[in-house]
């Protein structure tokens, strides 16, 4: 696939995720706040059209992610996808009249600055084949993410909300990792026999459930920001350590600076002073 089309797929994924987060937030706010990890919340939301549109956009982002990570290294794809946090914040601020604190905006700016450095340090290349223990760890990890999410969702603190956002970021990042490792067979129907494909679907389902519960607790842009850090850093690290991804011209200083800025921004979001103030009077 041409390099430009693969980049377009990554940007399309970012746009889809950013819009979907706002739509899913509107629907999640109508439901009683969940205190346990139950699929029933998603089933109830299927009656709400904004959530259905959000799900359709999530499905589109899933396909676009597969296209992007099959043709580009995670160093390039994940920073582009991470721009969804800005899309979500802009929609909330200018379309829904919801205000973010200055610290929250500074944190988002730090995340984006870090992601910019990561994208500059990236170079297109193919992933190498992962060793068997890494492969099966990626395949079974959705179970561990779900178990950890069940423990965190019972807590009500702002830090727990940020932890949920980061955890669903790990789940969504797992989708990208599995997609990067996925080998497309011929004929294509043999893909249905690949454990990595089913693992991708499991990552998506677990991530969507945790993301929806996190949306009930805070601004969509706050949740998206905390999600972005984990969704970006984890795949990049896996790509570097296990899949052979390396910075352009060995620019490790840029890569490390980008990771530090991204993580620092995510930690700033977790501070109590960055928590969202009361929403403006806007109909959901």
Task: Give the model confidence (pLDDT) of 137-185 as tens digits.
Answer: 999 999 999 999 999 988 878 788 889 989 999 999 999 999 999 887 8
- The CB-side HSE value for 234 (13 A sphere, CA atoms) comes to 21
Give the torsion sign (CA, 58, 63, 185, 174): negative
Q: Would you give the end-to-end CA distance of the chain in angstroms? A: 41
Residue 280 has pLDDT above 60, yes or no: no
Exposure letters 113-132 (e unless 16+ CB within 10 A, then b) = bbbbbbbebbeebebeebee
Choose among 179, 165, 273, 277: nearest CA to 214: 165
Q: Round to whole Å and give the CA distance between 139 and 142.
A: 7
Exposure letters 146-184 (e unless 16+ CB within 10 A, then b) = bebbeebbeeeebebbbbbbbbbbbbbbbbbbbbbbbee
Task: Give the model confidence (pLDDT) of 205-260 as tens digits.
Answer: 999 999 888 888 877 777 877 888 888 889 988 988 888 877 878 888 888 898 88
Residue 277 has pLDDT above 60, yes or no: no
Per DSSP, the three-state class of 204 is helix
The residue extents of the domains of the chain are 3-274
The pLDDT value recorded for residue 120 is: 82
CB 113 within 8 A of CB 268: no
Q: Which residues contact 49 (CB under 8 A, 6 or more apart)?
A: none
Tokens of 34: 């969940």
The pLDDT value recorded for residue 12 is: 95
Task: Give the model confidence (pLDDT) of 57-88 as tens digits.
Answer: 999 999 999 999 988 888 888 888 888 877 87
């Amino acid at each position: 696939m041409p390099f430009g089309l693969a980049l377009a797929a990554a940007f399309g994924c970012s746009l889809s995720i950013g819009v979907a987060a706002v739509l899913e937030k509107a629907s999640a706010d109508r439901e009683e706040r969940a205190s346990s990890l139950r699929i029933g919340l998603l089933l109830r939301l299927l009656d709400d059209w904004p959530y259905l549109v959000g799900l359709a956009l999530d499905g589109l982002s899933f396909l676009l992610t597969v296209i992007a990570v099959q043709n580009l290294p995670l160093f390039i794809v994940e920073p582009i996808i991470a721009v969804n946090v800005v899309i979500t914040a802009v929609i909330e601020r200018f379309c829904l009249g919801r205000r973010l604190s200055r610290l929250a905006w500074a944190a988002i700016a730090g995340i984006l600055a870090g992601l910019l450095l990561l994208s500059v340090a990236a170079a297109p290349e193919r992933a190498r084949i992962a060793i068997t223990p890494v492969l099966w760890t990626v395949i079974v990890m959705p179970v561990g993410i779900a178990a950890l999410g069940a423990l965190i969702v019972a807590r009500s603190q702002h830090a727990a909300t940020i932890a949920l956002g980061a955890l669903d970021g790990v789940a969504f990042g797992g989708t990208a990792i599995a997609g990067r490792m996925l080998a497309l067979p011929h004929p294509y129907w043999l893909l249905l026999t690949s454990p990595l494909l089913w693992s991708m679907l499991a990552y998506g389902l677990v991530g969507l459930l945790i993301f929806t519960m996190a949306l009930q607790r805070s601004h969509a842009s706050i949740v998206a920001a905390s999600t972005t850090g984990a969704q970006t850093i984890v795949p990049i690290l896996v790509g570097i350590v296990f899949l052979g991804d390396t910075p352009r011209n060995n620019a490790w200083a840029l890569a490390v600076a980008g990771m530090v800025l991204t993580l620092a921004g995510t930690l700033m979001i977790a501070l109590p002073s960055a928590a969202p103030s009361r929403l403006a009077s806007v109909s959901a």
